[in-house]
A and B are shown apart, each in its own frame.
Chain A
Amino acid sequence: SQELEQSPQSLIVQEGKNLTINCTSSKTLYGLYWYKQKYGEGLIFLMMLQKGGEEKSHEKITAKLDEKKQQSSLHITASQPSHAGIYLCGAEPGGSNYKLTFGKGTLLTVNP
């Protein structure tokens, strides 16, 4: 079965700093989702990447997909306290189009 490893597990940054979160898959990536979760709440969809080399942006958050490395990165520019939360990546195993596998998440804290 596919496994997703996220790094780092947790991250504390000063407001205004840039940061990157990585998601590495044990198998080929067919689709990669990024979600954000506030503690104890539901997941908020951020973006989905499907093609190798694809890059998408939403406000100050940019995600890229590197198919060869079986990896995706999420980059936040000029972080703000509102960016704090848990970032989860989810991926579609080949042949199972709805059975998303998720990483354990990266806890981001942004200090004002």
Chain B
Amino acid sequence: ETGVTQTPRHLVMGMTNKKSLKCEQHLGHNAMYWYKQSAKKPLELMFVYSLEERVENNSVPSRFSPECPNSSHLFLHLHTLQPEDSALYLCASSQRTATDTQYFGPGTRLTVL
């Protein structure tokens, strides 16, 4: 689904670095999501934004900080990450949060050294 883009596609960072992941959706949706996908684990929902308001924070450590400046953009700010945070981070969007299909971006492959 090319309607959701993510940058960068790959990121390698040290534990003391600060970086940000960016997601942009071109579908006119009102809800956006961050997911984490680790090897051999189910996809984990991290954050949900609906109309730029955070409606879900799924017990995510504070070293992950989301930001949703408008309904088309979503960021995930990263600082002092741990090696176990290495994973594929996926962004998704949907028309609303109510039983609407979620469309995913290509993901950012994050490696924390």
The chain A residues found within 8 Å of chain B, CB to CB, are 4, 31, 33, 35, 40-45, 48, 88, 90, 92, 97-105
Contact = CB atoms under 8 A, between A and B. Distances in A.
B103 interface: yes
Q: Chain B interface residue count: which class?
A: 20 to 34
Given A42-B104, A48-B101, A102 B88 contact: no
A94 to B, nearest CB: 11
Contacts of A31: 99
B21 interface: no
A42 B105 contact: yes
Interface of B: 1, 4, 6, 31, 33, 40-43, 45, 48, 50, 55-56, 88, 90, 92, 94, 97-107, 109
Contacts of B40: 104
B43 A98 contact: no
A104 B40 CA distance: 7
Nearest to A43: B104
Q: Which of B31, B41, B94, B104 has the most CB of A within 10 A?
A: B104
